[in-house]
Amino acid sequence: MNFTMKYPKQVKIGDITIRDGLQHEEKFISTDAKLYYTEQLILAGVKRIELTNLGNPHNMPQFRDAEELLQRVRNSKSLSRAGVNWNDIELTTVTIRESAVDRAIELKKRGCGPDRILMMVSTDEQHHYANSGLTLPEYWKEAERCIRKATDVGLKVNGTVSTIWGSPISGPTDMKDAIAFTKHWLDIGATDIEHADHDGSSSPDQAYRYFAMLLDAIPNPDVHLAHFHTTRGWGLANVLAALQAGICIFESTLGGLGGQPANFMDDCPIPGTGGYYYKDPNSVGLVSTEDMLLMMEEMGIETGIDVDKILKLGVLFERTIGRRLRSAAILHGRIPKEPNDSYKRKGLKERKERLGEKSDQVFPE
């Protein structure tokens, strides 16, 4: 009898620390730090990086250095010396509205732009309006126009679907709506789809149900990626559920950072996207890159990423952020594979000999 769980043996991981992870931080993280962690993530084997947001920095000043960061990553001497092949790397920027898409296109023409942009809809129109200022029909028209423009200059376009399992504004939602939204994104030319649990509403059984429904309706795992927040502690359980449904592309952040855009920066209130949805804004981050990679390695899933480098990077990242983050893996390390003599209680061998027991005996004769 086969007692092995069924799931993909090879997956792709997109690290979105530098954008989604940092958008929730209430202090500005230096461009030097953003560059350093981007370089180190790539050198550790991460090939999909979500780097910044090209929207108006008035609302999210964490990304006021977007163009500078893109240029510095593209011109990185560290990556050049390491022989990084840019054809293997995919840099993504968030471009919720058309003005940001136009900015990405201009940067692409200048040779320092992203490879992929991200636009976003929520199945809950109230949530969508809070994020974009547009109704859903208005936004779909804008998205279709933007996709045509972006495709013309060689930009991939990710269409994100949010509030799949519920909305912090309107409450319960219907998962079937997200399937319809996914089909519409693909119909208007999106390259791939991010299926996002932005507020940690999904339980593992519902994550499995949705992704099983999705792959039944659109059976191409290469166009679907899972994005789980771990607000209520279910993030990795949802990753496992999605794996079992057949999903093989996931997103995460160092330390499990991320969440709703900050409405405070350094010493000053800022717009963000309005008031926080949660009592504790530190509880809304994504699945931790460190924890997810270590879990997948233990499960025999190939990621192509150096787990030890990521664990070391996670330790450094906590110092950059200035507080203990979510990763259990950097706190407790790898699962031991060898005996640790320092934990052994003295005298077991001698006691077994005195009692006439064999060294490997576990039951009485």
Instruction: Yes or no: say if 180 and 210 are a contact pair by the CB < 8 Å rule.
Output: no
Burial category of 31 from C-beta neighbours within 10 Å (exposed 0-12, middle 13-18, buried 19 and up): middle
Q: What is the pLDDT of residue 3?
A: 83
How many of the other CB atoms lie within 10 Å of CB of 161?
23
* pLDDT tens-digit series, residues 12-65: 999 999 999 999 999 999 999 999 999 999 999 999 999 999 999 999 999 999
Instruction: Yes or no: say if 156 and 191 are a contact pair by the CB < 8 Å rule.
Output: yes
Instruction: Yes or no: say if 161 and 182 are a contact pair by the CB < 8 Å rule.
Output: yes
Strand, coil or helix: 233: coil
**Cα–Cα distance list, 207 to 81, 176, 238 (Å):** 42, 13, 6
Low-confidence ranges of the chain (pLDDT < 70): 281
Contacts of residue 276, Cβ cutoff 8 Å, sequence gap at least 6: 260, 263
Name the DSSP letter for residue 260. Answer: S
Q: What is the pLDDT of residue 100?
A: 97
Please tell me the distance from the alpha carbon of residue 210 to that of residue 226, in angstroms, as a whole number: 11
Strand, coil or helix: 208: helix
pTM, two decimal places = 0.94
Q: What is the pLDDT of residue 283?
A: 78
* pLDDT tens-digit series, residues 245-285: 999 999 999 999 998 899 999 999 999 988 888 777 677 89
Contacts of residue 295, Cβ cutoff 8 Å, sequence gap at least 6: 236, 239
Name the DSSP letter for residue 261. Answer: P
Q: What is the pLDDT of residue 274?
A: 86
Q: What is the pLDDT of residue 131?
A: 86
Q: What is the pLDDT of residue 351?
A: 96
Q: What is the pLDDT of residue 260?
A: 87
Return the beta strands (E) in the chain as ranges. Answer: 12-15, 48-53, 90-94, 116-122, 156-162, 192-197, 224-228, 249-252, 264-265, 268-269
Please tell me the distance from the alpha carbon of residue 193 to that of residue 195, in angstroms, as a whole number: 6
